Structure 1
């Protein structure tokens, strides 16, 4: 046997208030942008190219190796203004960015180099596609010189 219970409107409002107060915070969009990235292989090296136009690469871009990951992060600050006498327009764009890429276990920070040219940051990881060196002993083959005959 079931019982039908009528809800009091006060409790319905109270219930909604409690749900709103203790509900998880809504997901907020991050300010900033995500630069486009192109990953490619160049021989045994991995090359990552990121589109970062209008950035002062020496001041606003950082390339780090953190816990086996290549991390590129920084901030874009772009100000433009026009003043033609009758009107003045000023546009300010800014925002932070962060991209990270997993490195092979054998890649070290010493293998990473970065350069910036024409709005593109190029990060090269030397030897990323070489076989990792295995711990333990390694056999070195011995070559035998050709025998020379004595006269």
Structure 2
């Protein structure tokens, strides 16, 4: 019988997992699903990767200032599996929270699940960026006018016509 490093590592990994489960008295594992967040007009769209998660196993909750997404990806192969050689897929519960601006309530949040991606739309949370405006700068000191030669002559003519 030859030594197989993958089988030895898998056995060590399985033994370690079992030791941890026995120590903490639970089989629940946690994972963090990946998220993309983008604006769409005045809306914010959060796309969360949840492959293998049934939509009934996802909960969305809105409380003032916070949106929380939680749920569970169930390991359906566990009871039918033989000796585990490699385990890279994550199962168990997940929870992600996002801060919401003041005044956003549950009526402005909608969610849709399609092909393993949960899309959450939070309506009217961003304001369009205002265009820059020029502001006139006024002087606090009174404006003095300097009269030139033409202005002095014009002033003299007005004085002569008013006396005549």
Structure in which a larger fraction of residues adopt helix: 2
**Residues 2-151 of structure 1 correspond to what in structure 2 (within 5 A)?**
31-57=29-55, 59-80=56-77, 89=82, 94-130=91-127
Gaps of 5+ in 2: 1-27, 129-164
How far off its partner does 1:68 sit?
1.2
Cα distance, 1:130 vs structure 2: 3.5
Deviations 1:85-129 (CA, angstroms, capped at 9, x unpaired): xxx638796311000000011211100000000000000001011
Question: Which structure has greater strand proportion?
Answer: 1
For this pair of structures, how many residues does the alignment match? 97
For the Cα contact (< 8 Å) 1:82–1:90, is it kept in 2?
A: no
Partner secondary structure for residue 74 of structure 2: strand
Bigger Rg over Cα = 2
Give the TM-score taking structure 2 as reference length.
0.53
Distance in 1 between residues matched to 2:46 and 2:64, nearest whole Å? 18
CA-CA distance at 1:81 after TM superposition: 7.1
- Equivalent-residue separation in structure 2 for 1:81 and 1:96 (angstroms): 16
TM-score by length of 1: 0.57
Question: For structure 1, which runs of at least 5 residues remain unmatched after alignment?
Answer: 1-29, 132-151
